[in-house]
Amino acid sequence: MKRIGFLALLVGVLMMFATPMVRAQEDENRPARRSPQMGRSSDRNRQNDNNGDLPELTVRAQYLNDRLTQDVGNARWMRIIYRELNMLEDKNAPLYYPVTPINGTQNLFTIIFRLVADGKLPAYEYLDGYEAFDDAHVVDFKSVLDRFSIMYQTTSGRDGRTRYVINDSDVPSGEVRAFYVKEAWYFDQNNSVFDVKTLAISPIIFYEGDMGTERTPMFWVLYEEVRPYVSGTYIMTSNMNNAKTFTIDDYFRRRMFDGKIIKAENLLNIPLQAYCPTPDSMAKEQQKIESQLQAFNEGLWFRPDTTAQVVATGKSKKSARRGASVKKSDSDDKASKVKPEKAAKAPKSPKAKAEKSAGATRSVRRRR
């Protein structure tokens, strides 16, 4: 019995010393709890925001872009229109401001410029008279920077490619005060759709040269390749309402901008300026093309004949008048057949006889 009691006491003592050691070992294996603080990911995100880097496209964004893609291959009628958007006009100002990024908000050119600099968006050469969107005409971004005297620094990326680092103050977003927009007006007979598709856009930079202010188109970019990045970029569209309810993609799809026609694709491949030398003739030709597009759209759909509609309206008015006159005559006939009852005569009150005076009366005849 003494031996059993001694063993029990020994086991109890060992358990007392072993429990703290096990707890200490569990605490060492358990990850330490830290107070909330900024980690590397937050630093990276902040650095990306400062550098103006745009996030990578998600699968959902790519899927949404594919759904919004307009297929013009089955179009039975199409007309290519070139417009110029003046960024200083009120309707186009939401695409121009802010000139310098503020709180992560960038204008259209800054977004395009950053995408091209990061190699996420191909830019194509601006050729006089035609456009070629193929690999042979992709521009070298370094040549664009050198051509327009844009300050930059070079670093090597993770994939080994050269990356260009440009400060926000060196991005010429303030000098890009206009855009060329190439769009296709088309009618798809299979789907009975008349719509407009924005094909490509080209920023135009203004700078002071030897002959004064000069303007030069920089490059072309396909709008469908830009849309995934601008479909989530909300902009302020009014000074009276500061809520950002529209995106840059909404601005193009809803055609909220104002652009003047500078060229309509033709057999001679000449712009309007070639055969409209004066501002008045240019304005008339622009209005003519706009009217042609609107007339084609209105001519596609069936509308009731206005002449027949007017005749039908006149007949309905005449029938209504006849019905009213018939009802009136019937009511008059009924009124004439019913004789009105004679009103009862009031009893005559007896006339009071004049009383004769007792005194003598004097004649009023003239006495002789």
Reported as a single tens digit per residue, the pLDDT across 156-211 is 877 778 889 999 999 999 999 999 999 999 998 888 889 999 999 999 999 987 88
202 compared with 347, residue with greater pLDDT: 202
Cα–Cα distance measured from residue 38 to residue 43, given in angstroms and rounded to the nearest whole number: 7
Q: How high is the pLDDT of residue 227?
A: 94
* Proportion of the chain above pLDDT 70, given as a percent: 69
pLDDT of residue 36: 40
Residue linked to tokens 């042609």:
292
> What pLDDT was estimated at residue 159?
75
> Mean pLDDT lowest for which of 15-19, 258-262, 268-272, 322-326?
15-19
* pTM, entire model: 0.68
| All structural domains of the chain with their residue ranges | 69-271
Q: What is the pLDDT of residue 193?
A: 86
HSE-up (13 A, CA, CB side) for residue 240: 0
Tokens at residue 106, please? 């960038």
155 neighbors 176 (Cβ within 8 angstroms): no
**217 has a pLDDT exceeding 50:** yes
Q: What is the pLDDT of residues 73-117, one digit of tens each?
A: 888 899 999 999 999 999 999 999 999 999 889 999 999 999 999
Instruction: Write down the pLDDT at residue 341.
Output: 57
Q: Comparing C-alpha atoms, which of 230, 211, 304 is closest to residue 64?
A: 230
**pLDDT at residue number 316:** 72
Is the per-residue pLDDT at 42 higher than 60? no
